[in-house]
Amino acid sequence: MDFTFLGTSSGVPTRKRNVSALALRGPEEKSWYLIDCGEGTQHQLLRTPFSLHRLAAVFITHMHGDHCFGLPGLLASAGMGNRSEPLTLVGPAPLEEFVRKSLALSDSYLPFPLSFLPVETLKQWSGGNVSVEAWPLSHRVPSYAYSFTETNIERKLNRDKLITAGIPPGPAWGKLLAGEPAYRSDGSPIREQDFFLPPRKPRRSVIGGDNDDPGLLAQACDGAHLLIHESTFTEAVAQKLGPSRQHSHAAGVARFAERVGVPNLILTHFSPRYQQTGSDGNPGIVELELEARKHYSGNLQLAEDFASYSLTKSGDFSRAS
């Protein structure tokens, strides 16, 4: 499972960071998923290997412009590139009207069908090798997190047990792996549940939208390897600005991640005020990092545009580029 940040700034783009978007590739998948689509996301994609022909679904966390203004242009470009595969868009109910009206009013025609799934009623979405669930958050407009859980975990035969039971490598092993009825040499059936190793833990990641209450993700993070969450401010700045912005601060997210024991945490969606390191009294991104480290003992990363991370089958998580 791979994650590539396409935008990590909140509200407005800066010279180094675009507004929110993240590409996720599921295990063993050629296609990919887009989570949020701030303005200019299609420009960012031009600098990555991700193709609009292989985009399997789009998940929008909430309707603020820095998370969805890039969608009409991205869809129109996919159309001009002769995409023909249907595309699923998951997001708050107003997303459909926003997209359809933007396309209609700009006389844009798509040569591929769009299907909209309102996140408010989404129970579960499955595609490729992932299952996606939505989790309501707390923000100025309805906002959601999406959890991506690996499906189709490979099954492994218990070789030692088979051999001990007098079933040597041969056609019966192939039949077991294919899920077909298998028999011993004397013709008696082999109970397949007796000869498979317990499946490994599925890879699971939780990707939050804007949110001022990380505690809402406690259940979503149960068994998760990775949480990606906004950290727009430091705690002091968040307190100075008051609760009306309804964003998280680094300390709050870090304390939550520590409490629920999620082993990997990536902070993103940084206020532009932190993006000019150190000069003129500007605090710099490092301020957010230092604050989070005080409260979180796991693997902490601060997202950058075009940074890629990999989560392996064994649950190892690291930056790939």
66 is catalytic: yes
Contact residues for Zn ion (CB under 5 A)?
64, 210
* End-to-end CA separation in angstroms for the chain: 14
- In whole angstroms, the minimum distance from the beta carbon of 249 to Zn ion comes to 15
Q: Which residue, 210 or 235, is less far from Zn ion as judged by CB? A: 210
What is the C-alpha to C-alpha distance for residues 299 and 2, in angstroms, rounded to an integer? 16
- In whole angstroms, the minimum distance from the beta carbon of 132 to Zn ion comes to 20
Type of residue found at 189: P
Q: Which residue, 272 or 315, is less far from Zn ion as judged by CB? A: 272
Sign of CA dihedral 173, 174, 178, 180: negative
What is the C-alpha to C-alpha distance for residues 201 and 189, in angstroms, rounded to an integer? 29
Q: Which residue, 42 or 143, is less far from Zn ion as judged by CB? A: 143
- In whole angstroms, the minimum distance from the beta carbon of 139 to Zn ion comes to 6
What is the C-alpha to C-alpha distance for residues 119 and 133, in angstroms, rounded to an integer? 9
- In whole angstroms, the minimum distance from the beta carbon of 217 to Zn ion comes to 16
What is the C-alpha to C-alpha distance for residues 121 and 239, in angstroms, rounded to an integer? 34
Name residues whose C-beta falls within 8 Å of residue 71's C-beta, 6 or more positions apart in sequence.
37, 58, 60, 89, 95, 98, 99, 102
Task: Transcribe 196-235 into DSSP letters.
Answer: BPPPPPPPEEEE--S-S-GGGGTTTTTT-SEEEEE--B-H
Q: Which residue, 69 or 256, is less far from Zn ion as judged by CB? A: 69
Q: Which residue, 39 or 210, is less far from Zn ion as judged by CB? A: 210
- In whole angstroms, the minimum distance from the beta carbon of 271 to Zn ion comes to 12
Q: How many CB atoms lie within 10 A of CB 224?
A: 21
- In whole angstroms, the minimum distance from the beta carbon of 317 to Zn ion comes to 27
- Alpha helices, DSSP H, located in the chain: 41-45, 65-68, 71-80, 94-105, 159-164, 171-177, 235-241, 250-260, 285-293
The catalytic residue among 2, 36, 66, 280 is 66
Contact 270, 10 (CB under 8 A): yes
Token pair 């005080």 is found at 294
Q: Which residue, 179 or 242, is less far from Zn ion as judged by CB? A: 242
Instruction: Let me know the angle formed at the C-alpha of 87 by 83 and 78, rounded to the nearest 5 degrees.
Output: 30
**Which active-site residues does the annotation give?**
66
